[in-house]
Amino acid sequence: MKVKLRIVYPTGYVERPILAEAILTTGIKMNILEATLDARSGELIASLEAEEPEIERLVGFLRDRGVKVERIVGMLKVDKDRCIDCGACVSICPVQAIEMGEDWSVRFDEDRCVGCGACVRACPMKAVTLV
């Protein structure tokens, strides 16, 4: 099962190697899609593939160490009736999860999406929402 997690480090936790320990302890590899960290706190979006019991073990490991974890399920909803394929969302996407097809239609890749909301703010037709 492939899932995305939002992992939030509270103040004072960023200097601890909690994520490295979680990976080494559980054996679950993670791909960090987006990270915002400073000396005090941080937040990252990670993608991983594992069976449900392993995912729960990883989430429990992180939570036991004071890190907040939430699953991200289906980030984008596009109302195709409202979308006019203008492309305003394409260039604003920081992870290139949105592209303009050869037929000039806008295509969304939810696997790459990190839920930043830039496309929602850019859409003049209000056709894109985060769920």
The pLDDT tens digits of the residues spanning 25-51 come to 999 999 998 888 888 888 998 989 999
Contact between 42 and 65 (Cβ < 8 Å) = no
12: left (phi over 0), alpha (psi -120 to 50) or beta: left
The domain tally of the chain equals 2
> For the purposes of burial, counting CB atoms within 10 Å of the CB of 73, is it exposed (0-12), middle (13-18) or buried (19 or more)?
exposed
Same domain, 64 and 89: no
Q: State the pTM of this model.
A: 0.66
Highest mean pLDDT range out of 46-60, 72-86, 106-120? 46-60
Same domain, 88 and 117: yes
Same domain, 66 and 111: no
Same domain, 9 and 61: yes
Position 78, amino acid? V
Would you give the end-to-end CA distance of the chain in angstroms? 20
Domain that holds residue 115: 75-131
